[in-house]
Chain A
Amino acid sequence: MNALPHRAVLPQLKVFQGFTPAELDAVAKVLKPERLAPGTVLFREGGRATACFIVVEGRVRVSLERGAKAMQLAMLGRGELIGQMALLDGSRRSATCAAAEAALVLKLDRDEFELLFRSGAPFALKFVDSLTRMLVAQLRFANRQLTTMNSQPPPAPSHGKRATTNDLRRDLIQVARGTLDCTVDGCGVDDVEFVTPEK
C-alpha cells in the first residue's frame, strides 16, 4: 500500500489509541495535511465549523478576540485536537485558532466524516468513541472544578482580596480551558496572557 507521509505519526496520537493498522490506513486517507505559516488563522470565533484538526507539528494558539485585544486561552501542540465538538455538532467556532509558529495540521472534514460514520466504517465508529470519552472527561473535570470553587467558603477579610479575585479568575480560566472545543494537555495557567495581535 502506498503509505501517505502522515500515516506514520497516527499511531503516536492519543486519539487513535486502540486503532488497528487497517483502521489507521483508513484514517490516513481522509485526513488532509495542511502546512500553516506562522500567524495563519485556522478559523475565527463565530465562524461556521466544517472540520476538525489534529496538530502534528508546531503550536497553535487558541484565543478570544475582542477588537484589538486578544485573550489567549491555550497553546496546542502535537497530538492535540481542535474542533472535535464542531465535528459532531457543526455549530459555530467558540474561539479563534491561529498558528503560533510554522505548523502542520491534519484536517478532518465534517461532511466526509459524517458519511463514513453513517456507513459504519469501523475507524469512524472508533473515532466517535474516542471523542465521546474525551468530552465526558472534559465535562467531569469542569463539574469537579465548579463544585470545588462553589463550596469554598468566602475569604476572611484579612485574607488579601486581590489574591482571591485573581484565584477565582484563574480558576475560571482553567475551567474555560477544560471546556474548549479542543484538547488541552498540560497547559499551566501562566500560559494565559492578554496579548494584542500583531498586525
Chain B
Amino acid sequence: MNAVDHLRRVPLFADLTAEEMVDVLRIATVVQFAPEQPICTQGKPADGLFILEEGEGAVRVRDPNGRAREVSRVRAGEVLGELGLVDGQARSADVIALTAVRAYRIDRVEFDRMRAAMHPAAYKMLRRIALTVSARLRALNAAISDQLAPPLEPQSMARATTERASRVAPEPRASRVTVDRSSRVNTATVAAAPAPARETEERSLLRSVLARFSGGGK
C-alpha cells in the first residue's frame, strides 16, 4: 500500500481526499529514532507533529519536582504532538522511543503556511485535532462532575440524600447543599462540614479523576 492510502487510515487524515493527502505529504518528512532516543522533550517549543509508522514510544510527564511518570504509550498509527502543531507552545511531556521508531513529521511552520493559504486539508486536520481535544476535555469534565456532583437516580434520590447526611453525621450541621438566597455560599463554606476521615477520601477522589483522565486518551 502506498503512503497516501496508508496515512488516510489515520483518523487525523480521515477527512482528506487523496489529493489533499498528497499535499500534506509534501510538508512531511520521514524521521527515525533509536531505542531510548527522545522524540519530544517536555518544555521545549513544539515544532511539529509526528505520526508513528513503526515502533513504540513512552509518554512521560515530569512534575515540578522532577519526578517522571509514564502516562501512556504511543504505537504505530498514532499521532503525537497535536497540541503543539496548533499553538507551538512547550511540549507537555517527554516522548522516548522504546524500540526503533519510524515516523512522519509534519513541520509546524509549513503547516501554518498551508493554513494561511486557506488550504482545506489544514482545516480538516485542525477539526480532527479539535475532536480529539474535545473528547479528552469531556472525559475529564465527566470524571470531575461525577465526583463533585454524583448523578442521582430519580427514584433513589431521597434515599441517597439521607445516606449522605448520615455519612457526614459527626457534624450535626453538615450539609453539602445550602439553600440560602440571602448569603452567597461558596464551595469553601459548603465543603467545610466533612469529618476528618474525609481527607483520604478526597485524595482518592483526585486519584480517580486522574486515572480516568489518563485512560481517556492521549
Contact = CB atoms under 8 A, between A and B. Distances in A.
A179 B123 contact: no
Q: Is the interface of B mostly helix, strand, loop or mixed?
A: helix
Contact of B140 (A142, A165, A166): A142
Interface stretch (A1-9, A24-32, A66-74): A66-74
Contacts of B184: 190, 193
Nearest to A191: B186
A88 B149 contact: no
Contacts of B144: 172-173, 175-176, 179
Q: Is the interface of A mostly helix, strand, loop or mixed?
A: helix
A42 interface: no
B210 A137 contact: no
B179 A195 contact: yes
B157 interface: yes
Contacts of A139: 83, 133, 136-137
B187 A192 contact: yes
Interface residues of A, number: 59
A133 interface: yes
B87 A136 contact: yes
B172 interface: no
B63 A150 contact: yes
Contacts, number: 171
A17 interface: no
Contacts of A195: 179
Interface in A107-150: 117, 120, 122, 125, 128-129, 131-133, 135-140, 142-143, 146-150
Contacts of B63: 147, 150-151
Interface in B169-195: 176-179, 184-188, 190-192, 194
A136 B140 CA distance: 14
Residue among A122, A147, A168, A170 with the most chain B CB within 10 A? A147
Interface in B61-116: 61, 63-65, 67, 83, 86-87, 89, 92, 115
B22 interface: no
Interface in A177-199: 179-181, 189-196
B130 A176 contact: no
Residue among B63, B64, B134, B138 with the most chain A CB within 10 A? B134
B141 A179 contact: yes
B213 interface: yes
A172 B209 contact: yes
B191 A165 contact: yes
Given A66-B150, A151-B63, A194-B177, A91 B86 contact: no
Given A88-B134, A132-B127, A193-B184, A176 B141 contact: yes
A142 B199 CA distance: 23
Contact of A128 (B89, B123, B194): B123
Given A146-B210, A146-B213, 19 more contacts: A64-B145, A67-B157, A68-B157, A69-B149, A94-B145, A117-B123, A120-B118, A129-B126, A133-B87, A136-B133, A140-B89, A150-B206, A161-B198, A166-B191, A168-B202, A169-B148, A189-B187, A190-B184, A194-B187
26 contacts: A64-B149, A66-B150, A88-B127, A128-B123, A128-B127, A129-B126, A132-B129, A133-B87, A136-B83, A136-B87, A136-B133, A139-B133, A139-B137, A140-B89, A146-B140, A162-B192, A165-B198, A166-B188, A168-B202, A173-B144, A175-B144, A176-B141, A176-B148, A179-B144, A181-B134, A194-B176
* A-B pairs, 7 with minimum CB distance: A151-B63, A179-B141, A85-B134, A176-B144, A132-B130, A125-B123, A135-B133
